[in-house]
Amino acid sequence: MSNLITRRRFLSGAIAASVGVSASNLVPPDHGGLYGIGHTLTYAAHRLLLFRQPLAREFSRDQISSNFPAINTTLPEDDFYRSDMTAGFREWRLTVDGLVARPSEFSLADLKQYPSRTQITMHVCEQGWSAIAEWTGVPLSSVLNAVGIQPQAKYVFLNCIDGWWDSLDMADAFHPQTLLAYGMNGRDLPVPHGAPVRLRVERQLGYKNLKYLMSMTVTDTAKEWGKGQGAQGAENGYSWYAGI
């Protein structure tokens, strides 16, 4: 298939990650089934219109919500999680593998050694509420550059301690506002909001903002995960791509 727009390569250090727009990058993993055509049109339109990666709106400190709901306030059941939580997440590691030059594990302290980014953004939940908070974390791009993703990489799959899983394409993974966030409103990320580290992907709806992160795998296909639709949510009727 010919490229709709010349494939652009995004060079960052020694690593080239393809975040450009080509025809094969306009089809989301959940393109099949009843809603597939709709999902594909939405995703393709966003990727064509937004390929310059515009930033999500950022707010000022005085606009931060005093009451940010926490969905799933129940703690993850996991025994390791619970004991590590009381120990300040000392044993927690984020593993990164798949199509990377250097499969790695990052402790919380490791992640905090990278330059951080702080942003005040609006979280928009598909269930009809929204709230503004300040998030601090390491850009996902820094971690992907550190492990060295291979040029054929297409998705980053993310797994959570509570069993949620989802994936991002390279455009969202390398978006400057996509963070592995460990801070919220100037403090450590609270447990109900996904401690020790959650994803902030500011151009997508709430459910893509995974909490309780545990591991990431870089892949060139969504087929080997679950039913091949790229996300647990997509298998339950939500769109894999939830761009706003």
Could you tell me which stretch among 54-62, 75-83, 124-132, 187-195 binds Mo ion (CB under 5 A)?
Answer: 124-132
Nearest to 135 by CA among 91, 92, 190, 82: 190
Q: Are 228 and 29 in contact (CB under 8 A)?
A: yes
Could you tell me which stretch among 90-98, 157-165, 169-177, 216-224 binds ligand MTE (CB under 6 A)?
Answer: 157-165
Q: Are 227 and 235 in contact (CB under 8 A)?
A: yes
Q: How far apart are CA 19 and CA 135, in angstroms?
A: 24
Our CB check for ligand MTE shows the closer of 21 and 123 to be: 123
206 touches Mo ion by CB under 5 A: yes
Q: What part of residues 61-120 is at the interface with ligand MTE (CB under 6 A)?
A: 69-72
125 touches Mo ion by CB under 5 A: yes
Could you tell me which stretch among 47-55, 80-88, 158-166, 202-210 binds Mo ion (CB under 5 A)?
Answer: 202-210
Q: Centre a 10 Å sphere on the Cβ of residue 119 and count the other Cβ atoms it contains.
A: 20
Our CB check for ligand MTE shows the closer of 44 and 242 to be: 242
Cis peptide before 196 (omega within 30 of 0): yes
58 touches ligand MTE by CB under 6 A: no
85 touches Mo ion by CB under 5 A: no
Q: How far is the CB of 209 from Mo ion (least distance, A)?
A: 8
Q: Centre a 10 Å sphere on the Cβ of residue 165 and count the other Cβ atoms it contains.
A: 19
Nearest to 25 by CA among 55, 52, 53, 5: 5
Q: What part of residues 47-76 is at the interface with Mo ion (CB under 5 A)?
A: none
DSSP code for 236: T
Residues that bind ligand MTE (CB under 6 A): 69-72, 125, 160, 162, 164, 193, 206-207, 209-212
